Amino acid sequence: MFLIVGLGNVGKEFQKTRHNVGFLVLDQLFPEANFRSQARFKAQVAEVDLSGKKVLLARPETMMNESGEAVKALVDFYKLDPAKDLLVIHDEVESDLGEVELIEGKSAKGHNGIRSIIEKLGTDEFKRLKIGIGKVLQKEQELNEYVL
């Protein structure tokens, strides 16, 4: 089994924000996915078939900065190896809008959701799909105002 996690914040006020690009990408790539809230994982979870393989999709129901709780619960329950079986999709404020980069085994670089996942899993050895959301436009603009 392979796990794809899209990062974002739950709540209507966050639905179309830059910080929710992980949720939005999952919705676009897998429109048929039937996400259901599962308390034991602190996540909305769906199962899809991708080229004959079972793939688990997850949207953590924790706030972004605690995403590691949900990811750790899923990895442990399904006995996954993060280095082989995990892809996390998240926003990247240091990349131009729409720029996509697949990386593995790098630091969180200030992304608190990724930091949480690294801390909970005890490793940074997992794949990440970074989606550029553009850089802060004005120096005085706060980062949280920009991404949320």
Between 111 and 147, residue with greater pLDDT: 111
Domains and CATH numbers, the chain: 2-147 (3.40.50.1470)
Residues whose CB is less than 8 angstroms from the CB of residue 59 and which lie 6 or more positions away in sequence, other chains included? 5, 6, 8, 10, 22, 23, 26, 35, 43, 44
DSSP letters of 85-106? HEEEEEEETTS-TT-EEEEES-
Question: Tell me, what's the pLDDT at 74?
Answer: 99
Question: Tell me, what's the pLDDT at 53?
Answer: 92
The answer to whether the beta carbons of residues 111 and 133 sit under 8 Å apart is no
Pick from 117, 133, 114, 113: which is nearest to 18 by CA? Answer: 133
Question: Tell me, what's the pLDDT at 2?
Answer: 97
The answer to whether the beta carbons of residues 6 and 55 sit under 8 Å apart is no
Question: Tell me, what's the pLDDT at 144?
Answer: 62
* pLDDT of 81 strictly over 70: yes
Q: How confident is the model at residue 96 (pLDDT cuts 50, 70, 90)?
A: confident
Please state, rounded to an integer, the average pLDDT across all residues of the chain.
Answer: 91
* pLDDT of 135 strictly over 80: no
What is the value of pTM for the model shown? 0.90
The answer to whether the beta carbons of residues 106 and 130 sit under 8 Å apart is no
- Catalytic residue numbers? 19
- The percentage of the chain sitting over the pLDDT mark of 70, rounded to a whole number, equals 91
